């Protein structure tokens, strides 16, 4: 990313990219590629499809920039494109069958502090990945945006195109289903 674009807001970069500034578009890609990949992985359930969906996200972004309104937040708009690309790749690839491979999940926003902690949590991580993959797409999306991407309810509302109250109810249902699945998996009760 060029030094003169480092401090620019996403909305300004998008406006510059919309009129052909390649450096501004490259800056957006560099700034958002990891988050886009994580979101695509969450939608598709595997690395190969996530790569395809992330690439398609940036192609669609480039084509859509002329219609982007810089008065609106860029991040939620991009995340909506990424999620839709991920769902499209998943739908076209294997008719919605979850395909989460062991240990294939991308790093979370706050990764484990060390290898000993990572080794101890591998089984639990697989359980969570399996439970997340089993969630319906609309619940998985809000859960990923909140738990993995760290978005606020308002940002999730913008990215998903749903009211904030719906975000809260979907998050509640997603958490309940995840908790029930993890309890069932561990054989535990309350």
175's CB contacts (< 8 A; 6+ apart) are 143
Tell me the domain boundaries of the chain. Answer: 7-96, 114-190
* Closest-CA residue to 20 (of 65, 73, 68): 65
Name the 3-class secondary structure at 138: helix
Q: One digit per residue, pLDDT tens: the chain, 190 residues?
A: 455 777 889 999 999 999 999 999 999 999 999 999 999 988 888 888 999 999 999 999 999 999 999 888 999 999 999 999 998 988 886 534 445 444 555 555 444 445 555 555 677 777 888 888 889 989 999 998 898 888 899 989 988 889 999 999 999 999 999 999 888 887 765 5
Helices (H) and strands (E) in the chain, counts: 9, 0
Whether residue 106 contacts residue 60, with contact meaning beta carbons closer than 8 Å, is answered with: no
In this predicted model, what pLDDT tens digit does every residue of 7-50 receive, in sequence order? Answer: 889 999 999 999 999 999 999 999 999 999 999 988 888 888 99
Provide the CATH topology of domain 7-96: Rna Polymerase Sigma Factor; Chain: A (1.10.1740)
Say which DSSP state 7 is in: T
The dotted CATH code for 114-190 is 1.10.10.10
Whole-number pLDDT of residue 1 = 47
pTM score, whole prediction: 0.67
* Closest-CA residue to 13 (of 31, 34, 28): 28
């Amino acid at each position: 990313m060029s030094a003169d674009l480092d401090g620019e807001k996403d909305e300004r970069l998008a406006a510059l990219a919309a009129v052909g500034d390649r450096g501004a578009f490259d800056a957006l890609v560099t700034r958002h590629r990891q988050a886009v990949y994580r979101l695509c992985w969450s939608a598709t359930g595997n690395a190969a499809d996530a790569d395809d969906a992330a690439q398609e996200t940036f192609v669609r972004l480039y084509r859509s920039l002329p219609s982007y309104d810089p008065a609106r937040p860029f991040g939620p708009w991009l995340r909506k494109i990424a999620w839709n690309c991920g769902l499209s790749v998943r739908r076209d690839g294997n008719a919605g069958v979850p395909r989460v491979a062991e240990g294939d999940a991308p790093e979370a926003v706050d990764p484990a502090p060390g290898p000993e902690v990572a080794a101890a949590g591998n089984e639990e991580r697989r359980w969570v990945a399996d439970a997340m993959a089993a969630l319906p797409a609309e619940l998985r999306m809000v859960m990923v945006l909140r738990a993995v991407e760290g978005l606020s309810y308002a940002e999730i509302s913008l990215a998903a195109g749903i009211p904030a109250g719906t975000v809260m109810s979907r998050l509640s249902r997603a958490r309940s289903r995840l908790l029930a699945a993890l309890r069932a998996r561990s054989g535990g009760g309350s």
